[in-house]
């Protein structure tokens, strides 16, 4: 599980689909392509000129030799054409290499010929040389053909400079990519933090004052978060005010009832009014608890689960003195979280277990420490819950079997779930085979 978790983090951060890599690769490829294209053009011009020059130099020097030899031979009676080639290939040229050429004298007579027949006229180039006797000769050769350009380009790329340019362009691309991704990531974290903790921190001025599209986005998000927060606060304030306003007349109602009670003791109607006042008061309290969990975000504290369970058990001992509670705490069950919310959750879950137990019933509570989490199990031996009802249990205002119509509002478990959600924990309900209900609360140790 840790490994897959690690892998998903890696995938999330460095996955191919991430914008970072897309921008990085796009820019890097683009810069490499530009480099190749530039290299191609440069190499093309430069090296073909170079090659042509060298080629013609070779041609001219060979042709001059031939002409010189030709004129020299012409002056001697034992002139033999075939020896000319041998002489040249033996004595003279680079590795005995004979350049294919035709040399004509100024009369148009071919004095030398070496493999040029198959070359079309339009592929031939002409040069002029002059012999020792100052006669002009025409030399026909094949147009120079520079070697394949990509070979030259590749050859150039093997050099150190190109290596440096390659790395530098990678760095620049990464930097560019990062500079786009960084503000995006920051904005993402900013909205996530608001969504999770309702904590509004102002965005850095630098980001807001960028002036580019990212700056606009930051401004928009800032605006949205502030607007949402204002709306949420207004709702919270309204709920708080309404409940407070409801409580004032309720308090007066209760005193009035008590005054009637003073005059006519043992009135069952007054008792009814008292009961209903208490009930309305509890409902107001639960709605407030529910909304408080949703809205407020106290600071994270070290919370001792055993102590909180014990506190909830103590609270229940006062309300349900006939229920026996068996608590088996484990060692090392501290987590970082919101102790008040946790206490509320334990109160409600343990309270439910007590409420649905018969007089003299047993509620078993245990905590157990895991490496990354703490598990609290609350088990009662009451009537339990049908399978079909199980999923509805967590809905607000749902009461199992509608049995306890006069006590509770069905908000207790919803409040508990909300508190556990706040800790990114999990609530599991199961019906053990031997009856009753088993509630398991899994709380991660670290709240991220």
Which residues are CB-contacts of 76 (< 8 A; sequence separation ≥ 6)?
A: none
- Note whether 446 binds other proteins by CB under 8 A: no
Q: Which residue has the tokens 């009753």?
A: 436
Per-residue x/- marks for other proteins, 187-226, CB under 8 A?
----------------------------------------
**Nearest CB to other proteins, comparing residues 68 and 327:** 327
Q: Among residues 207 and 308, whose Cβ is nearest to other proteins? A: 308
Residue 287 C-beta: closest distance to other proteins, Å: 11
- Asked if 259 is part of the footprint of other proteins (rule: CB under 8 A), the reply reads yes
Give the integer Cα–Cα distance in Å for 201 and 208. Answer: 13
* Rg of the chain on CA atoms, in Å: 47
* 279 interacts with other proteins by CB under 8 A: no
* Rounded Cα–Cα distance for residues 188 and 209 (Å): 18
Give 193 or 274: the residue with its C-beta nearer to other proteins. 274
Task: Determine if 340 is a binding residue for other proteins (CB under 8 A).
Answer: yes
Q: What is the DSSP string of 327-353?
A: EEPPS--EEEE-HHHHHHHHHHHHHHH
Tokens of 385: 């819950």
Q: Does 247 bind other proteins (CB under 8 A)?
A: yes
Per the structure block, which two tokens stand in for 208?
């807001």
Nearer to other proteins, 242 or 251 (CB): 251
Q: Among residues 97 and 252, whose Cβ is nearest to other proteins?
A: 252
x/- map, 298-327, other proteins, by CB under 8 A = --------xx--x--xxxx-xx-------x
Quickly count: other Cβ atoms within 10 Å of residue 267's Cβ: 13
Nearest Cα neighbor of 440 from 378, 383, 381 is: 378
Report the candidate in 54, 213, 75 with the shortest Cα–Cα distance to residue 132: 75
Cβ proximity to other proteins: between 316 and 342 the closer is 316
Distance of CA 52 to the CA centre of its chain: 56
The 10 Å Cβ neighbour count of residue 435 is: 11
CB of 237 to other proteins, least distance (A): 15
* Tokens found for residue 205: 């001025």
Does 237 contact other proteins by CB under 8 A? Answer: no
Measuring CA to CA, which residue among 337, 339, 348 is closest to residue 396?
Answer: 348
CA distance 346 to 363: 13
Binding mask 281-300 for other proteins (x = CB under 8 A): x--xx--xx-----------
Q: Measured from the CB of residue 206, what is the shortest distance to other proteins in angstroms?
A: 38
Cβ-based nearer residue to other proteins, 43 or 416: 416
133 or 237: CB nearest other proteins: 237
CB 21, min distance to other proteins, A = 50
Task: Using CB under 8 A, list all residues that contact other proteins.
Answer: 244, 247-248, 250-256, 258-259, 261-262, 274, 277, 281, 284-285, 288-289, 306-307, 310, 313-316, 318-319, 327, 340
């Amino acid at each position: 599980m840790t490994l897959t978790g690690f892998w998903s983090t890696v995938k999330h951060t460095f996955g191919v689909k991430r914008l970072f890599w897309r921008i990085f690769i796009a820019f890097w490829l683009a810069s490499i392509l530009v480099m190749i294209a530039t290299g191609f053009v440069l190499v093309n011009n430069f090296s073909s000129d170079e090659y042509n020059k060298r080629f013609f130099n070779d041609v001219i020097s060979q042709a001059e030799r031939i002409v010189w030899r030709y004129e020299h031979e012409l002056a001697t009676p034992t002139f033999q054409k075939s020896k000319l080639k041998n002489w040249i290939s033996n004595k003279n040229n680079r590795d005995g290499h004979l350049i294919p050429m035709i040399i004509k004298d100024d009369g148009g007579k071919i004095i030398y010929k070496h493999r040029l027949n198959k070359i079309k006229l339009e592929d031939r180039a002409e040069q002029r040389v002059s012999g020792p006797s100052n006669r002009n000769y025409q030399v026909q050769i094949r147009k120079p053909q520079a070697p394949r350009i990509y070979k030259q380009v590749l050859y150039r790329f093997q050099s150190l400079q190109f290596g440096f340019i390659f790395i530098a362009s990678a760095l620049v691309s990464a930097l560019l990519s990062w500079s786009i991704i960084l503000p995006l990531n920051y904005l993402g974290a900013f909205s996530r933090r608001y969504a999770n903790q309702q904590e509004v921190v102002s965005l850095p001025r630098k980001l807001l004052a960028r002036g580019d599209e990212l700056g606009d986005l930051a401004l928009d998000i800032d605006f949205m978060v502030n607007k949402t927060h204002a709306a949420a606060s207004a709702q919270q304030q309204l709920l708080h005010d309404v409940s407070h306003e409801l409580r004032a007349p309720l308090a007066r109602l209760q005193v009035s009832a008590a005054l009637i009670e003073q005059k006519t003791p043992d009135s069952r109607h007054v008792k009814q009014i008292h009961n209903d006042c208490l009930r309305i008061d509890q409902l107001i309290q639960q709605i407030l608890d529910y909304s408080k969990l949703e809205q407020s975000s106290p600071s994270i504290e070290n919370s001792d689960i055993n102590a909180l369970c014990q506190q909830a058990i103590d609270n229940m001992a006062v309300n349900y003195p006939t229920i026996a509670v068996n608590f088996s705490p484990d060692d090392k069950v501290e987590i970082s979280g919101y102790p008040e919310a946790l206490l509320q959750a334990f109160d409600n879950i343990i309270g439910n277990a007590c409420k649905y137990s018969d007089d003299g019933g047993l509620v078993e509570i245990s905590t157990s420490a895991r490496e990354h989490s703490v598990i609290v199990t609350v088990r009662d031996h009451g009537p339990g819950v049908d399978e079909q009802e199980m999923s509805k249990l967590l809905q607000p205002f749902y009461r199992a079997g509608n049995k306890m119509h006069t006590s509770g509002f069905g908000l207790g478990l919803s409040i508990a779930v909300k508190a556990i959600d706040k800790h990114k924990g999990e609530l599991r309900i199961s019906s053990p085979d031997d009856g009753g209900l088993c509630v398991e609360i899994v709380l991660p140790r670290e709240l991220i």
